[in-house]
Amino acid sequence: MNFSIIVPSKGRVEQLTELLSTIIRCTNDLSQTEVIVTIDTDEKQMESYTELMNNYPGPKQFIIQEHCDNLNDGYYNMMALKAHGKYIIAVNDDCVFGTVGWDEIILSAVKERKLEGKICFLKTGGNGVAYHEGSYPPFPGLSKEAVQAMGFFHWPGIWTWDADEVLWNAFHGLKNNYGHDRIVIVIDVAIQHLNAENHKYSEPNLSYEETTNNMIRNYNKGDCGKDFHHYPQMISLLNNGIKKENA
């Protein structure tokens, strides 16, 4: 399996339906892309979700579980650890894929960087994401090896927003501190957030340093109610994983 797209959903069958339809339309090899959807046991639209997932034509996992307040650890990380794909992409249920052949674009880019079967980060596009370092992707992808090295997709101490930005900065730290450039630029793969709120603390024109400083200030103020203090551990886990690759 090449890809796993992981998406939690709650009360938004219509949005999820649109997301799935764009995945079907834009994926060249649907047989190599699984979709993992998780909803809560108290979901009011349970019947509609079940029908939607039963009718989805590609590989899938449909998970129904008790509600967890920690969106990242209780949903995204749980799904990432169950994923069969070589590359895992975390999205919201109100996203759409906008690039036909996105799967082949990513596979080609990873191959060109000679990072197949290795730890890497996929910088996808959409919602104003640019090439320069200050523009982080709201919906990133990770290789399965990266998830295995860290033991998670998003840092468990971050419950909701900004986990994507922390992940982005962890891979920059990996490059800056250890010289490992594992960021694969695939911004031609457009994943659009139809209710875009992802640049609360980061704007496309900011430098990498400005982006990082903004994030640290907001974490220190407690605006996000999240745990920022273990950020260096993510870099260390990734670096240790790369050491094992080279052993």
- pLDDT band for position 230 (50/70/90)? low
- pLDDT band for position 237 (50/70/90)? very high
Which parts of 8-63 fold into alpha helices (H)?
13-26, 46-55
pLDDT tens digits, one per residue of 73-132: 999 999 999 999 999 999 999 999 999 999 999 999 999 999 999 999 999 987 766 555
**Cα separation, 22 vs 24, whole angstroms:** 5
Residues of the chain with pLDDT > 90, as a percent, come to: 66
171 close to 183: Cβ distance less than 8 angstroms: yes
Pick from 62-66, 136-140, 228-232 the range whose average pLDDT is largest.
62-66
Distances in Å between the Cα of 148 and the Cα atoms of 67, 190, 205 are 25, 26, 33
108: Cβ contacts below 8 Å, ≥ 6 apart: none
pLDDT, residue 213, reads 47
Q: What letter does residue 199 receive in the DSSP assignment?
A: T
3 state DSSP class of 99:
coil
